[in-house]
Amino acid sequence: MSLTLVPVPLGHISDITIRALEVLRASDAIIVEETKESTQWLRAHQISKSPYLILNEHTRPEELSELTNICRDKNVALITDCGTPGFCDPGADLVRSCRQRNIAVKALPGPSSLMMLLSLSSRRLDSFLFYGFLPQETDGRKKAWQGLVQQKQNLILMDTPYRYQKLVLELQQSMPDRFILLATQLTQNDEWVFEGQAKNIDLQKLSKKAEFMLLIYA
């Protein structure tokens, strides 16, 4: 059988392909990151594969092995809370485990916060460094910023919604004059995009948490 990685909406429930819906409905099982997040839009599209299987940062090795066995015996779809699975989430662990056992792995095209961010840029970007998530601990974050300041290329960062304000403050302290592109809540009613110098972001107007992507221009 097989594992299929299915991109899901970033926020707006209509942002899903016809093929993705067909695969989800035809699958024998669906692996989700968090049941609460995923079942809301799945229900909106009349899809139910309860009980859902779980794969996230808390998944233990023996649980990952069990999920792999299920992919060997059934046609399984893997989704994440939003966007493309395997991108900065534990999906890569399952892909690797399936490949090690010669289980077919497929991927569908679809919503991607990274590609949306790049398309919103007013500058042509021929290359960039995707840094991803900054360390959680204070010392690690400080060292990370010190390293990023020295970089001479376009940088893309992200973090959890709960560290949105924290990251913007750190950005202003480390690189106040750098031009940046900040996109939050993409595809949703409260979507916000800012392009300009980091120091010009009004911290008082930022929401406490938000899904976001950050591009720091070279």
pTM of the model: 0.86
- Mean pLDDT over the full length of the chain: 93
Please give the pLDDT value at position 90.
87
Residue 164 has pLDDT above 80, yes or no: yes
Residue pair 30/24 in contact by the 8 Å Cβ criterion:
yes
Please give the pLDDT value at position 16.
92
Q: Which residues contact 118 (CB under 8 A, 6 or more apart)?
A: 125, 128, 215
State percent of the chain over pLDDT 70: 100
Domains in the chain: boundaries: 2-107, 113-216
Q: Would you tell me how many other CB atoms lie within 10 Å of the CB of residue 48?
A: 11
> Band of the pLDDT at 4, cuts 50, 70, 90?
very high
Amino acid at 165: Q
Q: State pLDDT tens for residues 25-71.
A: 999 999 998 888 777 888 889 998 878 899 998 999 999 999 999 99
113-216 CATH choice from 3.30.950.10, 3.30.70.260, 3.40.50.720, 2.60.40.1220: 3.30.950.10
Residue 195 has pLDDT above 90, yes or no: yes
Residue tagged 């497929």 (tokens): 106
Question: Three-state DSSP class for 40?
Answer: helix
Please give the pLDDT value at position 180.
97
Q: 2-107 adopts what CATH topology?
A: Cobalt-precorrin-4 Transmethylase; domain 1 (3.40.1010)
Please give the pLDDT value at position 28.
95
Q: State pLDDT tens for residues 170-185.
A: 999 999 999 999 999 9
Residue 157 has pLDDT above 90, yes or no: yes
Q: State pLDDT tens for residues 129-141.
A: 999 899 989 999 9
Distance CA 138, CA 133 (A): 14
With helix as H, strand as E and coil as C, how does 41-107 read?
Answer: HHHHCCCCCCCCEECCCCCCHHHHHHHHHHHHHCEEEECCCCECCCCCCCHHHHHHHHHHCCCEEEE
